[in-house]
Structures are given as structure tokens and as C-alpha cells.
Chain A
Amino acid sequence: DAGVIQSPRHEVTEMGQEVTLRCKPISGHNSLFWYRQTMMRGLELLIYFNNNVPIDDSGMPEDRFSAKMPNASFSTLKIQPSEPRDSAVYFCASSFPVGTSGGALYNEQFFGPGTRLTVL
């Protein structure tokens, strides 16, 4: 199993440019999460999908950020226009139900290697 795949691994761009980050979840996983990690703000959830449907996008910073999941094996996170404060490591994670206890389903999230974005 290749795990969660993200591309590119590193991206350097100039302010104002469009940036597209890509993620391929583990096959069979039905939930996908986009996180942003910075020293100042730690690990923040931006948006997550269940069965390709966006469930919670309350963490998306502003309208410059958008995410899509056109099918079960691919998702994108787009920033347009990019700004220096968007510089961070962006992680994609996927999960599947691992079992039940008292009727609840629990999910282990598997993270991708991350994309290090630098906006100059």
C-alpha cells in the first residue's frame, strides 16, 4: 500500500499566483482531510470530506481557499491568489471506519507526506 500520496512535495511561488495541491487517499478510505501546519498555529483542519462530499469547511481561512473531491481517489486544495502568510506545510489525511464500540464508529487518520508551500 502506497499510503496517502501528495503532490507536489515542495512548492515555491510568488504572491498572487495560483497554487494547487493534490492528494490521493488510501484506496478504500471514505474520509479525506486537509490540514495546514505552521509554527504559530500548529495543526489546523481546513476541510474534510466524507464519501466525496464536503462536511465541514469551517477551517478554510477565506475565499481564496477552495477544495474539491471529484471522486474517491483524488482531491485538490487550491489557493488563489496566494499570499506570503499562506506559507506552511499542508497535509492531506484519509481514514476509514476501524470498528465499533457502543454503536460509534472510530477512524484512524493516515497522513500524507505533506506539501511544503513557500509564497514569496
Chain B
Amino acid sequence: GENVEQHPSTLSVQEGDSAVIKCTYSDSASNYFPWYKQELGKRPQLIIDIRSNVGEKKDQRIAVTLNKTAKHFSLHITETQPEDSAVYFCAASKVSPIQVGGKLIFGQGTELSVKP
């Protein structure tokens, strides 16, 4: 069945360093890949997403890359700050003109800790 694997499960970096989180997906028909950030005790919130028709997208200190051939995508956070500490979830979805609201398959999450 559909599956998304996420690594690492925990990641600790020094403030100012970069952090990279990687995900692989099983369904080659997946075409939408969002990333969610969840702070302790709060709800997941979308921080960036990428569609299958592009290979990279950047938003300030956050970037996401997609390799459709290898079926993996990554989140890159540069110049990390303590407020980046949270759990990050990747997800994959199949969306088509026929069926709106495709379900997201989430990875297991990565707990990022940024030490000042």
C-alpha cells in the first residue's frame, strides 16, 4: 500500500547550522508533497509544499527538493534558529481533476532540536 518513510526520527543541530530531513514515497502516482511543522502541544501547520512538475522550491530559509525518479523529497532549513525546534512531517498525495481532496500519507515525523 501507500507508504512514506521519513528520516531521521530525531535531529539535533547548533543554531546557524543547516538541517536536512529526507522522505521516500512508494506510490509513483503521488504528485503533491507538503511539509508540516508541529510545535509541542499544537496543531500541524503547512510550511512549504511542492508539486511533481517542479524539482525545487524555496521560501526564505526553507527549501524542498523532489526527485521523482528516485521517489524521494527533502526539506532543507538553513541558518537554523531555536524557534525552528519542532516536529516536522512530510506527506505525499495523489490529486487528480476527478477526485478533489486527495488524502495525505504522512511520514513518521522528525523531531528537530536547535541548540542555541
Contacts and interface: CB of A to CB of B under 8 A. Distances in A.
Nearest to A98: B49
A113 B46 CA distance: 14
Contacts of B102: 107
Given A103-B97, A105-B95, A106-B51, A114 B106 contact: no
A43 B95 contact: no
B51 A42 contact: no
- Interface class of chain A by DSSP: strand
A31 B100 contact: yes
A102 B100 CA distance: 14
Contact of B43 (A44, A55, A112): A112
B101 A55 contact: yes
A82 interface: no
Given A91-B44, A106-B95, A108-B49, A33 B108 contact: no
Interface residues of A, number: 29
- Interface class of chain B by DSSP: loop
B101 A30 contact: yes
Given A43-B89, A104-B95, A50 B51 contact: no
Contact of A107 (B42, B43, B89, B100): B100
A106 B53 contact: no
Interface string A28-55: 0011010000000011110010100001
The CB with the most chain A CB atoms within 10 A, among B45, B100, B106, is that of B100
11 contacts: A45-B103, A45-B104, A48-B101, A48-B103, A56-B103, A105-B96, A105-B97, A105-B100, A107-B95, A109-B104, A111-B45
Given A45-B103, A55-B101, A109-B34, 5 more contacts: A43-B89, A45-B106, A91-B44, A106-B49, A112-B43
Interface of A: 30-31, 33, 42-45, 48, 50, 55-56, 91, 95, 97, 100-114
